[in-house]
A and B are shown apart, each in its own frame.
Chain A
Amino acid sequence: MPLEAPEESTQPLHLTIVAIASAADIVTARQRGRELAGKIGFSGSDLTVIATAISELARNILEYAKTGEIILALAQKGSRMGIFIQARDEGPGIPDISKALQDGYTTGKGLGIGLPGVRRLMDDFDATSTVGKGTVVTVKKWVP
C-alpha cells in the first residue's frame, strides 16, 4: 500500500462532507456517495455496494460516537478512478482495532454489521482508532 501513495491522489474538487448526527443523515450520506460514484462510471451493482458501505459506516458513527462526518471524494490511481470514503468521529474509539476487524466481532449491542462487512464490500480499507480520541475509517473502491 505505501508504494502506491505517490501516484495516488484524492481530488479535492469533488470533496463532499456530510455531517452525521441523526438517522436522516445516513440517507443523505449514501445518496451523495451514490451520486458521486455514478459520475465516474460505476455499474449499478457497484453503486449499491458503495451506498451500502456508506450506510454502515454512517450507522457506526451514530451508534458509537453519536456524531461525526462522512467525507466523500474522487480518488485516482494512475489512470484509474475511484471513490474515497472516510468516516471520522471523535467518539470513544475502539480499544482493539484488529479484533474489531475480525469476522463475527460484535460489541454485544448486535447492531450494524461491523467493519469486516464494509471491508468485504470495498477494495481498500484502513481503520485507525485511539481510545478517547475517536476513529477514522478510510475505504476506497476503484472503477473496474
Chain B
Amino acid sequence: MPWPKNTKYLGKSTPRTDGPTKVSGRAKFTADVALPGMLYGAIVRSSWPAARIRSVNLAPVIAAPGIRAAIPAQEGTFEVRYYGAEIAAIAGISRQAVLDALPLVAIDAEPRPFVVSETDATRGESPKVFADRPNLGEGKARNTGEVEAAFAASAAVVEGTYHTQVEIHHPLEPHGHVVAWDEDELTAWSSTQGVFACRTAFAQALGLPQNKVRVVCDHMGGGFGAKFNPGAEGILCARLAQAAGAPVKLMLTRFEQALAVGNRPSSHQKIKLGATADGKLTAFQMEAFGTAGFGAGESTGGGSGRASFPAPYIYTVPATRVRQGTVAINAGQACAMRAPGHPVASFGMEAILDDLAVKLNADPLDLRLKNDPSEIRRREYELGAEKFGWRQKYRKPGSAPGALKIGIGCAGAAWMSGGKGTQAELQVNADGTVEVRVGTQDLGTGSRSVIQIVAAEMLGLAPEKIAVRVGDTRFPPSGSSGGSQTTASVSPAIYDACEKALAELARLSEVPDPKTDWLTACKKLSAPLQVRGQWREGLSAGGACGVQFAEVEVDTETGFVKVKKILVVQDCGAVVNRLTCESQINGGVIMGLGYALYEERVMDRATGVVLNPNFETYKLPGAADIPEIEIMLLDMPERGVIGVGEPCTIPTASAIANAVANAIGVRVDSLPITPDRVLAALGKVPATQRGASAVREFEPVFRHVAALPATAGAKEELPT
C-alpha cells in the first residue's frame, strides 16, 4: 500500500473540522433549514394495525384555516399493514394549523385481523399479513458436511435457544426533508445517508429528469442505516410542496420514528453445537427465525430485508446445517441497522460457544483461540487478554462470592467494510488554500475530517488550510454512507486528487516540488486549479475484525447488571484520524450496550400497537450507564484504509451477555438482559412470557423452519 510512512497527520489525532460549527450551534441540519414561505408538513398515519383504506376524504382538511395542501398517500383503495402506516399528508402555514387539521381527515377504513407476535403469526389460524402468502416466508438453507454423523462422533454436544429483540435506530435528528420546487426543478434538503441515492429516488417517484433534482445534506443528525432513501415521508414532502406551490418542511416526530422508519429484525435461534474433547468444533446446527416487520422476504434499502444472518458467524465448523426463516407481522418494516445481521449472529454463536466452554470445563478464551480462523482476531484476543487481565480475572461461572457477582466475557467480530467508486474535486487557490468537494455524507462519522487529513498529509499542508464540502449532488459522486465503506471509498479518491494536483501545479508553476514550496507555486496560478480524483485500487481494503472484553457486576438480589468495563481491540487497516475513529468505536460499544441491556420494541398483542414509542419506555443508554471503555486501536497501514463504524458494535452485547453468564453461573438467553430476566434465570422469579418459558411457543416454529428444503438463499460470504 503506497500510504506514506512517518506521517504527520495520517494515523494521528486531529480535532474534527466541523467541531467548532457544531458546538456553536451554527451547524445547519435538515431540521434547521428555513426558507421564505416554508410550510409545515405532517403525515396522517394509520391507527389500525391492519386495514383496507376504502377512501380518504381530505376536503374538510383543505378547507381548514391555514392548510395549503392535503394529499393521500396512495390513490384509490389501498391496504395498510401496520400501526403507523402512511395514509395522507398535510401542509399548512404553521405547526398549529396542521395539528388542528389532522383530526379532520375522514378515513373510511375496514379494519382487518392482525398479528404482531412472531410465534402467533406462524400458527395455521393466524391472520395473514398478505392474503396471498404465508407469514413464515421461504427461508435460507445451507448444508455442509454431514451433521448427524459429526454430532454422533462428538465428545461434547450443547444445545441452546437464544433470542434477540427488535431494535430501533432512533437517530436524534428525526427522518425529514425540506423540499422546494422552482418550476420543474426540485431541491431537497434531506437528512440522509445518500444524497445521490435520494436524488435517484426523488427523480423516479416524481417523474423528473435527474438533472433537475438536487439533494443537499450538509450536516445530519445520525442515520445508523435507516436513512438510505427518502422514504414515504420524503416523497410525500415533495408532493406536498408541488401541490402547495411552496417549500415544505416535513420532519417526523419521535413517535413516528418508533413506528415507521425501520428497525433491526428480531431472532430466535435454536442451536446445537458439537466439539471434540479438547474443544475443536465439529458440528453446528441451527434453526432460526425472526421478524422483519410486514415486509418479510422483501429487500429493503441497505440490504437485510430479511431476518436472516450469517451462521455459524465467524467460526469455521466442518459440518453445518442451517435453516432460517422470516416471519411477517403487522409491524413496521425492518431495514439495515448498524452491521445488519451481525450482532444477531454474534449473540447466538458467542453464547453457545461459552456454554460449550462450561460443558468442557474450559476457559472460553481458549475455545476461541482454538476455533477462530482469523489470525488478526487471534492476535487481538492475545493482546486484549493481556491488557484486560483475563487469565488473572477468569473464574468458573457463578463462583464469585456474595450477592454482587463479577463476571467476564469476550466475543469477536468480522465486517466486510471495503468501499470504492468515489470521485472528488480538489481546488487549489492562488493564496495557497485548498477546497475539496465530494458528494459523500458525514453522519457524525467524521468523513469530513477523513478528507481533510488525507489531503493535508498528501499535500503537506496544515489541515486548517483545507476546506471540505460534502453532501451535495452538485459535487462529484460518491456512494451512500453505509457498510462502513465511506472512509475506504473516499480516501483513495483524495489521494488520487492530491497526486494529480501536485503534478498539475508543478507543471503550471514550474516549481518542481510544490509540496516543499507551496505558496510560491500557488502564487503563480492565474486561476484556481481544479483537478478530479477518483478511487483506485491499492489504497483500501475490506475485512475489519475486532474483539471485545466485558466485565460486569450483577446484583443477584435486584437482577441489575452494571457494565464496569469494556476493552476493545480493533483493527481498521490504516487509521486515518485516530481521534474520530476512537469516537466511532465508543459509539459502537455504547450502542451495543443498549442492545445488551435496555433496548426493545414492544408490541401489544391485543391491539397491535407499539407500546413504547418514546424515550421514556424505549431506553437508550444515558450518562449513568456508560462503563469505562478502553480502546486498543491497531494501526495497520500495510492493509490500506478499512472502515470501522460497524465492526465496533457487533460483539459488545455478546461479550456482556457472556460476562453475565460467567458472573451468575447460568445463561440469560434473551436480549435485552433486563433485571426480570436475570432474576428468572436465577430462579428467583417465575420466567416471563418473553423468556425461556415461551419454549412451547417456539418449538413448533423451529420444527417448521427445520423442514425447509435445502434450496433457498445464498451462502453468506465472510472475510477470513
Partners in one complex: no
Residues of B near any A CB (own CB < 8 A): none
